[in-house]
Chain A
């Protein structure tokens, strides 16, 4: 991947040798995740938040709620906006400045998972049709980069959305009035992103940074509550065979169930 630092040839060879024997540098199985930790409600000023660790990768997501004009083609739907920041404190390879192609891809892949699986019932976020709707801003903040940002970000975003409390609004004479109390977001689906790295013609899940540096290609498959595929993205300058793709779909459906249990149990 273009934001990975150079890796020594010795380490590269070692990873490749191990993979061809079905083993990984950190002792994991090919389809085993690193330890996943989820903590909700970590930011007081955000309407919802969560911090996710996958191994040493650490991502915090904060949700802010605002009132905006709807998009002209969906006048009765709330707005979902996903942004990702690869802040320079997270890795020696991250530079300050506006989001680069990696940050944009990360945000858009996470966004697609939620949007296409209709995870949030955006129709319920409409205040005045065509005029005012609620906007859900999902800000992904990468705090420590050790591989597999997509899965960590998608998990953190889902956990943060489940944690979100929306202020109650009502409409009086076309004016929006802040009511008493808070309510949860209308979450109707729980998409889970599963990312694979292709190493030596084998697929591994949850690539670490070292594995991402060596991988030929990356594949993310987002799976919804009932095992449907709702988003997919290939990355990296290599290719995938058809068999690898079909195998990845099988594994992703299985792994998504495991990860979803961690998210829903971690409330």
Chain B
């Protein structure tokens, strides 16, 4: 039998010392790759993800193009070295599902109708995985889309909340996700106050669900502010360079 880890200590703190409603430290950077039209990097705790956006550009293969809007394509992929035991680089079923739900989380935000017969490709590469990679991936992907200059209705911010050792917590790390009781990843267009991704696994009563949902929404709001800062920071840096 695998020894059940204690996820909440006697002081009510979590395995990494956080309080229940505390986010992991987040670092966001925009415009980090040379070739991509837009790019972003996120560190959320020990999770590290790079995102590149290419497009709008001609669709390959051509028959996939749509006459009235751009196709948004999304690949979520984990590096073989991003987890404890080497992961095969071939896309797993999990990665295929996540690519789909992430695409559907970003789609509502992008004005695809501005670019018929083109594609916008989003590549999410998880370099180090320590829980919450789909949410961190979405947070960074929407920054990369904005960095590519693609018109958007709003930024998409994502954050999970869940339940571990009976305590409702924000922004689960890997251990909490694996051994916890429930995980609810959420993505929102915060300014429009709508949900673009929701998934859940675990077991929650209706009341717990409402509380966890509110925590995740609060997390999205905090991350949304950091996203705006990160976008501004890129242009502030350019401005300083010009003025010096």
Which residues from chain A sit less than 8 Å from chain B, CB to CB? Answer: 73-76, 99, 101-102, 104-105, 107-108, 112, 115-117, 219, 224, 227-242, 245-246, 249, 253
How far apart are the CA atoms of A245 and B206 in the complex, in Å? 12
Residues of B within 8 A of A233 (CB): 101, 198-200
> Are A237 and B206 in contact, with the CB atoms below 8 A?
no
Having A99-B93, A112-B201, A235-B100, one finds 11 other A-B pairs with CB under 8 Å, namely A75-B1, A101-B97, A115-B201, A117-B203, A227-B205, A229-B203, A238-B108, A242-B193, A242-B213, A242-B217, A245-B213
> Are A234 and B199 in contact, with the CB atoms below 8 A?
yes
Tell yes or no: B197 within 8 A of A by CB: yes
Which residues from chain B sit less than 8 Å from chain A, CB to CB? Answer: 1-2, 93-94, 96-97, 99-101, 103-104, 107-108, 182, 184, 189, 192-206, 209-210, 213, 217
Residues of A within 8 A of B101 (CB): 105, 233-235
Residues of A within 8 A of B194 (CB): 239-242
| CB-contact partner of A219 in B93, B198, B210, under 8 A | B198
Whether A101 touches B100, Cβ cut-off 8 Å, given contacts A240-B194, A242-B195, A245-B198, is yes
How far apart are the CA atoms of A108 and B204 in the complex, in Å? 19
> Are A234 and B197 in contact, with the CB atoms below 8 A?
yes
How far apart are the CA atoms of A73 and B2 in the complex, in Å? 7
> Are A249 and B206 in contact, with the CB atoms below 8 A?
yes
| CB-contact partner of A253 in B104, B198, B206, B210, under 8 A | B206
Q: Closest Cβ of chain A: how far from B35's Cβ, in Å?
A: 27
> Are A229 and B204 in contact, with the CB atoms below 8 A?
yes
Q: Closest Cβ of chain A: how far from B2's Cβ, in Å?
A: 6
**CB-nearest residue of chain A relative to B184?**
A232
Whether A241 touches B195, Cβ cut-off 8 Å, given contacts A74-B2, A105-B97, A231-B201, is yes
> Are B195 and A245 in contact, with the CB atoms below 8 A?
yes
Q: Closest Cβ of chain A: how far from B173's Cβ, in Å?
A: 17
Residues of B within 8 A of A104 (CB): 93, 96-97, 100
- Sample (13) of A-B pairs whose CB atoms are under 8 Å apart: A101-B100, A104-B93, A108-B94, A228-B205, A232-B184, A232-B201, A233-B101, A233-B200, A234-B196, A237-B108, A238-B108, A239-B108, A240-B195
**CB-nearest residue of chain A relative to B110?**
A237
How far apart are the CA atoms of A119 and B97 in the complex, in Å? 23
**CB-nearest residue of chain B relative to A250?**
B206
> Are A228 and B199 in contact, with the CB atoms below 8 A?
no
Q: Closest Cβ of chain B: how far from A41's Cβ, in Å?
A: 29
> Are A229 and B97 in contact, with the CB atoms below 8 A?
no
Q: Closest Cβ of chain A: how far from B77's Cβ, in Å?
A: 14
Residues of B within 8 A of A117 (CB): 203
Residues of B within 8 A of A219 (CB): 198
How far apart are the CA atoms of A93 and B196 in the complex, in Å? 26
Name which of B104, B192, B197, B209 has the most chain A CB atoms within 10 A of its CB.
B104
**CB-nearest residue of chain B relative to A106?**
B97
| CB-contact partner of A229 in B96, B189, B195, B209, under 8 A | B209
Name which of A75, A230, A236 has the most chain B CB atoms within 10 A of its CB.
A230
> Are B199 and A232 in contact, with the CB atoms below 8 A?
yes
How far apart are the CA atoms of A112 and B183 in the complex, in Å? 12
Whether A229 touches B198, Cβ cut-off 8 Å, given contacts A105-B100, A237-B104, A242-B217, is no
Residues of A within 8 A of B196 (CB): 234, 239
Q: Closest Cβ of chain B: how far from A54's Cβ, in Å?
A: 23
How far apart are the CA atoms of A107 and B93 in the complex, in Å? 10
Q: Closest Cβ of chain B: how far from A259's Cβ, in Å?
A: 18
**CB-nearest residue of chain A relative to B202?**
A116
| CB-contact partner of B93 in A108, A229, A230, A253, under 8 A | A108
Q: Closest Cβ of chain A: how far from B240's Cβ, in Å?
A: 37
**CB-nearest residue of chain A relative to B109?**
A239
**CB-nearest residue of chain B relative to A221?**
B200
How far apart are the CA atoms of A78 and B196 in the complex, in Å? 35
Q: Closest Cβ of chain A: how far from B73's Cβ, in Å?
A: 11
| CB-contact partner of B189 in A115, A237, A239, under 8 A | A239
Residues of A within 8 A of B199 (CB): 232-234
Residues of A within 8 A of B1 (CB): 75-76
> Are A229 and B2 in contact, with the CB atoms below 8 A?
no
> Are A231 and B200 in contact, with the CB atoms below 8 A?
yes
